[in-house]
Amino acid sequence: MKYSSHLILCFAAASIAFGQADPTSRSWNQPVPPFRIAGNLYYVGAVEIASFLITTPKGHFVIDGGFVETAPQIERNIAQLGFKLADVKILLSSHAHFDHAGGLAELKLKTGAKLIASTRDAELLRSGGHGDFRFGDTLAFPPVEVDQVIGDGESIALGDQKLVAWLTPGHTKGNTTWTTKINDGSSSYDVVFAGSPTALDYQLIGKESYPGIAADFEKTFAVLKRLPCDIFLSDHGSFFSFEEKRKRLTRGETPNPFIDPAGYKRFVIEHEKEFRQKVEAQKKAAASPAPKPE
Ligand SMILES: [Zn+2]
């Protein structure tokens, strides 16, 4: 999930049924044709809700399952690219919110793949979003069993392809940024799949939304700033100007518009600034409590 303005909509919609019943979510889930980003890395998600396929001769990775309603799109997209669902061996998650984890249960069922997630998000994936520190039980999704937990800086490999998990907590307690290297022709690229770094309407000072949330965000920005990045990707298309870059790539633009180290740096700086502004605003509000009526 991304915008605070979207919160109320989500509450209303997701408490009625799993998934994307409101217009904003539906607009985020519009299909786009799957395509190759670079080398063995493909886009298989919807227009705003991202999902990625990394193929290897030993089986494939899929990062994120979208909404419940995105899963069939992801399945079709994988097939359309000429790959077999049964060859997907590992499912990964950016974070356990209903717009990215909603489709994981179905994808797991259809592929037979192993789901790997961070310890703190594994809990939320298994509960289907129940007990979220901010949303309680209101943004539920189909629960999905996590087969293996992964720690900070640990990696998972299929053949020669290695993906590294970097814990970037705050947006969820176990929010994860994945990195890998993708070879394309004679070039090799550092790829970052940045987990959402947004603080939504969370309480970041005083009685924090969860104990340690502000320190978690501090850690997240320190980590994101450290990661080398050529190809910049994230869980929301708008974070990395997905539609614009997709159209430019489709037109055959070179160099590949997804190679965007400057865009990645901007993304991190802007989100850190937004986080600090939220902290400052909350400090100000706490220092000047509303006057008591006389
Ligand atoms: Zn989210």
Ligand 1 centroid–CA 32 distance in Å is 21
Q: What is the pLDDT of residue 22?
A: 87
Q: Are 198 and 278 in contact (CB under 8 A)?
A: no
Max Cα distance, the chain (Å)? 74
Q: How far apart are CA 294 and CA 290, in angstroms?
A: 12
Cα 54 to Cα 266: distance, rounded to the nearest angstrom:
26
Please name every residue paired with 190 in a beta bridge, in sequence order, or none if there are none.
Answer: 181
159-172 confidence digits (pLDDT tens): 999 999 999 999 99
Residue numbers of the chain with a pLDDT score lower than 70: 1-20, 290-294
pLDDT of residue 3: 52
pLDDT at 289 (0 to 100)? 72
User: Cα of 160 to ligand 1 centre, how many Å?
Assistant: 30
CA distance 70 to 44: 10
Distance, CA 97 to ligand 1 centroid (Å)? Answer: 5
Q: For residue 12, how far is the Cα from the chain centroid?
A: 22
Distance (Å, rounded) from C-alpha 61 to C-alpha 283?
Answer: 43
Q: Which amino acid is at 224?
A: L
Looking at the annotation, which residues are catalytic?
Answer: 95, 97, 99-100, 171, 202, 236
Which pLDDT value is given to residue 12?
Answer: 38
C-alpha to C-alpha distance for 25 and 101, rounded to whole angstroms: 14
| Residue 272 tokens, joined | 């850190």
pTM of the model: 0.93
Query: CA-CA distance, 200 to 182, in Å (whole number)?
Result: 32
Residue 248 Cα to ligand 1 midpoint, Å, equals 27
Secondary structure in 3-state letters for the chain: CCCHHHHHHHHHHHCCCCCCCCHHHHHHCCECCCEEEECCEEECCECCECCEEECCCCCEEEECCECHHHHHHHHHHHHHCCCCHHHEEEEECCCCCHHHHCCHHHHHHHHCCEEEEEHHHHHHHHCCCCCECCCECCCCCCCCCCCEEECCCCEEEECCEEEEEEECCCCCCCCEEEEEEEEECCEEEEEEEECCCCCCCCCCCCCCCCCCHHHHHHHHHHHHHHCCCCEEEECEHHHHCHHHHHHHHHCCCCCCCCECHHHHHHHHHHHHHHHHHHHHHHHHHHHCCCCCCC
State the pairing for strand pair 88-92/60-63: parallel
Residue 216: exposure state from Cβ atoms within 10 A (0-12, 13-18, ≥19):
buried
CB contact set of 176 (below 8 Å; sequence gap of 6+) = 92, 93, 94, 95, 117, 118, 121, 150, 165, 166, 167, 168, 195
pLDDT per residue as tens digits for the range 85-126: 999 999 999 999 999 999 999 999 999 999 999 999 999 999
Q: How far is the CA of 216 from the centre of ligand 1 (A)?
A: 15
What is the reported pLDDT for 16?
40
Residue 10: its pLDDT value, please?
42
